[in-house]
Amino acid sequence: MARPSIYEFAGGDPAFLALAAAHHERCLQEPEISHAFSHGFNPAHIDNLAFYWAEVFGGPPRYSELHGGHSAMLEMHARTGAADDWGQRFAACFVQAQDDAGLPKESEFRDALRAYMEWATEEVMSYTPAESQVPKELPVPRWGWNGPE
């Protein structure tokens, strides 16, 4: 029998919506990251975040269909001049949000989620300098139990 995707193991859309909502709340409470939301945010932010992560972990390609894939996400975060520790703070919120959202506590599952977020925040942070250029038409990355697929 084939192993379920991380998306399926987590609990599908409801799990990723809960994770995105919990992560958003954690970010609002984080002193440095909350500044990014001080001027408001897209009312669909939580849904879009859930769609993105769901797609990364084996769910349907809704984020790509609605927003144009990985390049669109990177472009939203590019050239922000974010502080060097912003990625670690974001990832810490993500790890804490997994408990808040009631995701499975299975260690291999949690390790895969954390490894993805560490990789993802490093990539996003690489585009925060003012001169950064995001490549066009990058697909949303896929992440499985053993890392990038």
What are the chain's domains? 7-31+44-148 (1.10.490.10)
Residue 134, both tokens? 């995001």
Residue 130, both tokens? 């003012």
User: H or E element: which one contains 144?
Assistant: strand 143-144
pLDDT tens, residue by residue, 34-63 = 866 666 667 888 999 999 999 999 999 999
| φ/ψ (deg, to 5) at 141 | -65, 155
- Where do the DSSP E strands lie in the chain? 143-144, 147-148
Instruction: Spell 58-94 as b/e; 16+ CB within 10 A means b.
Output: bbeebbbeebebbbbbbbebbebebeeebbebbbbbb
- Determine which of 27-31, 77-81, 141-145 has the lowest per-residue pLDDT on average: 77-81
Neighbouring residues of 51: CB distance < 8 A, sequence distance ≥ 6: 16, 59, 62, 63, 66
Residue 109, both tokens? 């599952």
pLDDT tens, residue by residue, 120-133 = 999 998 988 899 99
To the question of pTM greater than 0.85 for the whole model, the response is: yes
